Copies of this chain bind each other. A is one copy, B any other.
Amino acid sequence: MTLTGHMLIGQHIVAGNREAIRGINPATNATLEPAYAGGSAEHVEQACALAWAAFDAYRETPLNVRAEFLESIAEEIEALGDELIERAMAETGLPRPRLLGERGRTCQQLRMFARTVRAGEWLDVRVDNAQPNRQPMPRSDLRQRQIALGPVAVFGASNFPLAFSVAGGDTASALAAGCPVIVKAHSAHPGTSELVGRAVAQAVKTCGLPDGVFSLLCGSGREVGIALVRDPRIKAVGFTGSRSGGLALIQAAQARPEPIPVYAEMSSINPVLLFPAALQKRTQALADGFVASLTLGAGQFCTNPGLVIALKSTALDSFIAATAERIKNSPAQTMLTPAIFNAYESAVNALADNTRANVAAVGQIGSGPNQGQAQVFVSDAADFLADHNLQGEAFGAASLIVQCASVDEMRQVTERLEGQLTATLHLDDEDLDHARALLPTLERKAGRLLVNGWPTGVEVCDAMVHGGPFPATSDSRTTSVGTAAILRFLRPVCYQDFPDSLLPTALKHANPLHLSRLLDGHREALTNDE
């Protein structure tokens, strides 16, 4: 497939008319062809008009049609073959195995949402049958289902050019919910975005869906991005990226005459608590696991373990020494973009200059451009508690180990943390009481709690929560990974005393879709339970 450098507005390939961006190979700083001219407010208008025109029809597509569409997207992405992997490698510096894995995850995610759509639990069907003889007043027939919110604007992430981008989790879950999607392509991987965008557009065509179900725009966040969020036909926003970027979108969304929800995943340092017995018994293994998780993918994961909280002890000294040894031997890794590399350098330099933190170890120096060195710092709890800057996110393979004088000080440090995506406990049987005492705090701070694992690696499944209290995300009531992500793009509608012929299929008396229903206060037994 020849890359065109153009946008997709429905089935139309449209050239932008604003300043162009090009992909940059971060391993060489070479610019990549073609140029992607930016879109303007006019293109936003066209895409939104088309999405709006598609909305009522698309949201009522039969569940199996919508599921087949999601599966078709996965097939079209796979059909792109090695061209997609090569282009993504060139634009991100990520290695081939990582991108192969990410493609698998992306397609698996689309197929999982297809299964979710078919099962229909997300419709949350509730039926209260009429009680015409109830005293003192009869009860009407009342039926509730969830319907799609409306067209959704998606802003992908630089660090997952497939799984959190054009056809990533936000797009998949919004499409699953019945929302048309307009993606603003991330400027760090425009070619990858075009390839995947054309795969989605092809699936729209193959499945005979309305054009406006999907569009892909390029351009500046300030012009195209803000215009998208302000457009009255956009009813929700998905975003993964920096805190400043997320907050700008939230502000624009709140300032609309009709405010809309923004699901922004922004920043997290993912505290790891090492409890005394575990630290004592598994010092070397913990250092192995920590450094492996910290340096994975140059540390460019939202769930990167950027903070370790432990009891000051000889075991902790050993852990720090073992960690330092491993960090010193860690090769530098090419980061995703020159901007991310520069931001990482600034963040670690600021930590190095901070008198409240000491450098424990620095990784190997790189030989090419944009190569980030792993770094680990050490601080005392009192210093950490005194300086909020120490809990800022340094996006990359940097982490701070906070030494606490007591388990209660571990609790104080934890209590002081901002909202997080994850919190991890390393514990042994003897640590269980300590861990139990800290659990209420951790539950208030994070969306996912792990025992004896590492936070990198986010399973795509029903029980996953990739979310958490502000500022980890803008809406702690939601997750952006896993089947529950679909719930973000739905709202309930109640139908009172509707004749059966006018009811949506999901609510008809005979339950033709065999949905799980809350019927007169009880969960109905499924007739087609597998």
Contact = CB atoms under 8 A, between A and B. Distances in A.
B492 A142 contact: no
A467 B492 CA distance: 9
How many copies of this kind of chain does the complex include? 2
Given A139-B459, A470-B258, A498-B449, A465 B484 contact: no
B518 A121 contact: yes
B463 A128 contact: yes
Interface stretch (A192-200, A321-329, A345-353, A474-482): A474-482
A163 B509 CA distance: 31
A317 interface: no
Interface string A515-527: 0101001110110
A179 interface: no
A529 interface: yes
B464 A494 contact: yes
A526 B134 CA distance: 29
B450 A126 contact: no
Interface string A144-181: 10010110000000000000000000000000000000
Contact of A459 (B140, B149, B501, B516): B140
A115 interface: yes
A491 interface: yes
A124 B463 CA distance: 10
Given A143-B463, A444-B150, A462-B128, A484 B477 contact: no
A490 B477 contact: yes
Nearest to A145: B463
A312 to B, nearest CB: 25
A142 B432 contact: no
A448 B494 contact: yes
Given A484-B144, A523-B516, A126 B463 contact: yes
Interface stretch (A22-30, A333-341, A378-386, A435-443): A435-443
Contact of A443 (B435, B493, B529): B493
A396 interface: no
A123 B474 CA distance: 22
Given A261-B477, A459-B140, A451 B499 contact: yes
B492 A484 contact: yes
A453 B259 contact: no
A450 B261 CA distance: 27
Given A258-B419, A523-B526, A447 B497 contact: no
Contacts of A419: 258
B465 A494 contact: yes
11 contacts: A56-B440, A121-B523, A128-B462, A128-B464, A447-B494, A449-B495, A450-B496, A451-B499, A462-B518, A477-B491, A523-B529
Interface of A: 56, 60, 101, 115, 121, 124, 126-128, 136-137, 139-140, 142-144, 147, 149-150, 250, 254, 258-259, 261, 419, 432, 435-436, 439-440, 443-444, 446-453, 457, 459, 461-465, 467, 469-471, 474-479, 484, 490-499, 501-502, 516, 518, 521-523, 525-526, 529-530
Given A258-B419, A478-B492, 11 more contacts: A56-B444, A124-B484, A144-B464, A258-B469, A258-B470, A261-B475, A432-B502, A447-B494, A450-B496, A462-B518, A477-B492
Top 5 closest A-B pairs, CB basis?
A: A465-B494, A142-B463, A56-B440, A126-B463, A144-B463
